[in-house]
Amino acid sequence: MTDEELLDAARTVREMAYTPYSKFRVGAAIIDDHGNVHVGCNVENAAYPQGSCAEAGAISAMVASGGQRIVTIAVVGGGEKTGACTPCGGCRQRISEFADEATRIIIKDNDNEWHTYSLAELLPSSFHL
Ligand code: THU
């Protein structure tokens, strides 16, 4: 699967996001160590802290189907006003749990070019047990 195809999967699932409160839709798509693709979108809740991020949904789907490592994760969200949606701090740590040095994190907003990061760039000196 190409980066463009993975971004397309994230863009498609982004349409399913449940965001009545923020109106900020995010989609995430992972390709795992078995070559399988898993997607997630953000799901908000009237009790705000109970909402979940797109990356968390995609990671849960990966783990539930036996994936162990994130080879690439594409995140699509944001727009002209906010810029592209880079993973929040909590999601950087969630990604870290299933990442290695080769893991790629691809970020894209509505219209602009996309950027690729390593986890070390987004979460330097990260916590591990
Ligand atoms: N959000 C994500 O889904 N992923 C992130 O990495 C950042 C934020 C969601 C949470 C909330 O539903 C909305 O974006 C606005 O914060």
Can you give the residue ranges of every domain in the chain?
3-122
108 versus 74: the higher-pLDDT residue is 74
Give residues with Cβ within 8 angstroms of 49, minimum separation 6: none
Per-residue pLDDT tens digits for 9-37: 999 999 999 999 999 999 999 999 999 99
Give me the residue label for tokens 């190409």. 2
The pick from 11, 24, 108 for probing ligand 1's pocket by mutation, whose C-beta has the most ligand atoms within 8 angstroms, reads 24
3-122, CATH topology level: Cytidine Deaminase; domain 2 (3.40.140)
* Among 2, 7, 1, 4, residue whose Cα is nearest residue 74: 7
Distances (CA, A) of 68 to 40, 45, 61, 96: 17, 29, 11, 12
Give residues with Cβ within 8 angstroms of 43, minimum separation 6: 17, 18, 51, 52, 57
- Ligand 1 atom 3: residue of nearest CA: 53
Per-residue pLDDT tens digits for 27-79: 999 999 999 999 999 999 999 999 999 999 999 999 999 999 999 999 999 88
